Amino acid sequence: MAATSAVKLNATSWIAQQPFNQRTGSASFSPSARRVSVVRAGSYSDELVKTAKTIASPGRGILAIDESNATCGKRLASIGLDNTEVNRQAYRQLLLTTPGLGEYISGAIMFEETLYQSTTDGKKMVDCLIEQNIVPGIKVDKGLVPLPGSNNESWCQGLDGLASRSAEYYNQGARFAKWRTVVSIPCGPSALAVKEAAWGLARYAAISQDNGLVPIVEPEILLDGDHSIDRTLEVAEKVWSEVFYYLAQNNVMFEGILLKPSMVTPGAEHKEKASPETVAKYTLTMLKRRVPPAVPGIMFLSGGQSEMEATLNLNAMNQTPNPWHVSFSYARALQNTVLKTWQGLPENVDAAKQSLLVRAKANSLAQLGKYTAEGESDDAKKGMFVKGYTY
């Protein structure tokens, strides 16, 4: 079932995929760059397309529960629980065994521990998802480390051994993957950091597709800073231009990927907040300038926005038709109220599951452009931005 599909680019889209020249502010060309290569996704081509379309299905989005053990520990500590495997299992079991979750959630990103875990009654976590038509996913990067030669920026590690790990994850039931790298506006971003982020994402995407996993491409532009929304737009366009240039160079099949971008907003410390309509206008402008319509789905990250803010912004982006499925891949913006409701108490499990359904349904409606904020709780309105947040 080896599938190949030639990439045909017009002049405009080809220019958009050229690496940004930091000094001249223009695209640069070389004779060899003019040669258009053939995209290959190997024997998994048809399956990748099917998986991506399943995740990008109407009214559904992604539940991200792939926090590292250390980060999950911080979440548990916020409700007075120790960071033990038993407590992490109890919390993730609560989330993944919520009845009716598959009506609003199409995919769940897990940490490696959860992928191999079972519930307390012996059912595999993966099977809990599959029974509700939720596609199991897996975080495959190994975290951020300082990038030498940069302006105090980071790069994402994890390419070593990724092919063999991806094959193992596939055998365990995972069908899509996530790799998160970050770009910091207050730190520049430097050309080196942008190129490193884009290249790492492209290599990861190619390796994932070669092993049957749909790659989620996530260069998170951090909310940290006091910059304007126009500055965020400028950086986002530069970053996504580089990302798609290197995705094409690595023969990644665009029909078999999903994107997880940041929304285009002002920095968290900017003096003026942007309305949902403004965020939608700037974000969709960026996407239409940089993302080919062959990409099936745009699954936004919440990035520290409040639960309600993330939902309102998503809803505003779905007021008119888009070339792609525009949806969500939220962690804190789906889980914050759940944690506060649960408090680690068995008698609160059912109420916590209900609060997850409330948030999932709200974002499902936002994906359809039908959400209203009527009846939202005060907790849903509280921002969750943490300066220098690590995942």
The residues annotated as belonging to the active site are 218, 260
Considering only CA atoms, which of 164, 161, 166, 117 is closest in space to residue 138? Answer: 166
CB atoms within 10 A of CB 204: 28
Q: What is the largest CA-CA distance in the chain?
A: 67
Answer for the pair 342, 335: CB distance below 8 angstroms, yes or no: no
Considering only CA atoms, which of 96, 78, 71, 76 is closest in space to residue 86? Answer: 76
Q: Beta strand 214-221 with 135-139: parallel, antiparallel or unpaired?
A: unpaired
Cα-Cα-Cα-Cα dihedral of 214, 218, 219, 225, to 10°?
A: 180
Q: How far apart are CA 221 and CA 240, in angstroms?
A: 11
First vs last C-alpha separation in the chain: 37
Q: How far apart are CA 123 and CA 130, in angstroms?
A: 12
Considering only CA atoms, which of 214, 135, 150 is closest in space to residue 183? Answer: 150
Rounded to the nearest 10 degrees, what angle do helices 69-77 and 85-96 cross at? Answer: 80
The runs of H, that is alpha helices, within 211-306 are 229-249, 276-290
Q: What is the CA radius of gyration of the chain?
A: 20
Query: Alpha carbon of 257 to those of 168, 253, 272, 299: distances in Å?
Result: 20, 7, 34, 11
| Single-letter code of the amino acid located at 281 | K
Query: Alpha carbon of 242 to those of 169, 195, 196, 199, 249: distances in Å?
Result: 28, 7, 10, 8, 11
Query: Alpha carbon of 288 to those of 28, 221, 293, 294: distances in Å?
Result: 21, 18, 8, 12
Q: How far apart are CA 205 and CA 52, in angstroms?
A: 13
